[in-house]
Structure 1
Amino acid sequence: MATPPLFSHSLFTLPFSHATDFTELADNCERFVEGLVECHDPVEKLAICARLSACLALLQPTLTEPVPQHLQASLTVETLPTRSPLFEPEPDQMGRYCQLLTHLLMSKTLSDEMERVAGDLLQDLVGYFADTLKAPRWLKTEDGVMVL
């Protein structure tokens, strides 16, 4: 079976620009990451990374702007959701994330700006990792010890 041409893939034709709403940019970022994880072709991976980077670059300045009027209704609810976004990787995965960032910083391939960002991320992740590992796991009660 022939491989489809590189730019016929929907990720490469997904339109976005500086006028795209932040919610749509966030959706696009998720699509790009999903495509990146599923992709095995190095050229396509690089192209998807470039699209993700461009989308993130457009998304970043919108984070400090007020929510546009036309999006306020879609972000307003009558009852709070039962689930909130959480970041709860397994400890072994968190350890791999920290190790990857450490190796990336040691490689000295990042610009000074990106090195600072990676260092900040590593600091936050290692702090979270350490807090998670040192968190209580059992609770003493009148009935004995309970697993948390």
Structure 2
Amino acid sequence: MATTPNHIHSLLALPFSCSTDFTELADNCERFAEVLVETHEPAEKLALCGKLGSCLNLLHTTLHEPIPAHLTESLTVEFLPYIPEFAPESDALCRYCEELTRLLINGSLSADQSRVIGDLLLDLVMFFAERLKAPRWIKTGQGVIALDVLN
């Protein structure tokens, strides 16, 4: 994805709030992180880090809230999904992303360190967002069952 000034500015203007559902917040985090690693302009990097940090902070506050009813269908599957082996708790994973974002905002890293931390942040944000948007229920012959019950 090539970044353009207009794309970055429209991304920075992307609205979200405490009423934004967690799947949309997760999508926003992915967008911010993807563009962040492709951006070389320091002011844009800082602005993207700020937006990512704000979005992660809002997301962190929603982690233990019940899943809204309107998302139930989109988080229900008919076949078991692949479950990755790396499985930190969502709280910890969100915290890792928040701390890496703070490191980048701080500006005390060398250019090479910033690149590596940015790449790590992107990988963690993508994993975190994927995990948040992963199915929670499965349809079976006995009805709909929560996936965490199956383990």
- Following the alignment from structure 1 to structure 2, what is the Cα–Cα distance between the partners of residues 86 and 44? 34
Corresponding residue SS for 2:15: coil
| TM-score (norm: length of structure 1) | 0.52
User: 1:55-108 deviations in whole A, cap 9, x for unaligned?
Assistant: 011101110111111111110111112x334549xxxxxxxxxxxx8xx7xxxx
Measured in 2, the distance between the counterparts of 1:62 and 1:71 equals: 14
**Cross-structure match for 1:122:** none
Give the aligned residue type for 1:13. A
- Name the CA distance, whole Å, in 2 between partners of 1:31 and 1:46: 15
Distance 1:19 1:32 in 2: 19
- What residue ranges of structure 2 are gaps of 5+ in the alignment? 88-99, 109-151
Query: How far apart, CA to CA, are the structure 2 residues paired with 1:85 and 1:17?
Result: 30
Deviation, 1:9, is: 2.5
Of structures 1 and 2, the one scoring higher in RCO (CA 8 A, sep 6+) is 2
How far has the Cα of 1:8 moved from its partner?
Answer: 6.1
- Structure 1's 61 and 77: CA in aligned 2 closer, same or farther, altered over 3 A? same
- 1:50 aligns to what? 50
Distance 1:76 1:34 in 2: 27
Paired residue secondary structure (1:64): coil
| One-letter amino acid matched to 1:57 | N
The runs of at least 4 aligned residues of structure 1 exceeding 4 Å deviation read: 85-88
Aligned-partner Cα distance in 2 for 1:32–1:66: 25
Query: What whole-Å deviation, never above 9, does each CA across 1:26-70 have from its counterpart, x for those lacking one?
Result: 111011110110000000000000000110111011101111111
In the other structure, the counterpart of 2:18 is 18
Report how many residues are paired: 87
On the 8 A contact 2:8/2:35 being kept in 1, the answer is no
The answer to whether 1:60 aligns with 2:66 is no
Q: Which amino acid aligns with 1:76?
A: T
Unaligned residue ranges in structure 1 (runs of 5+): 89-100, 110-148
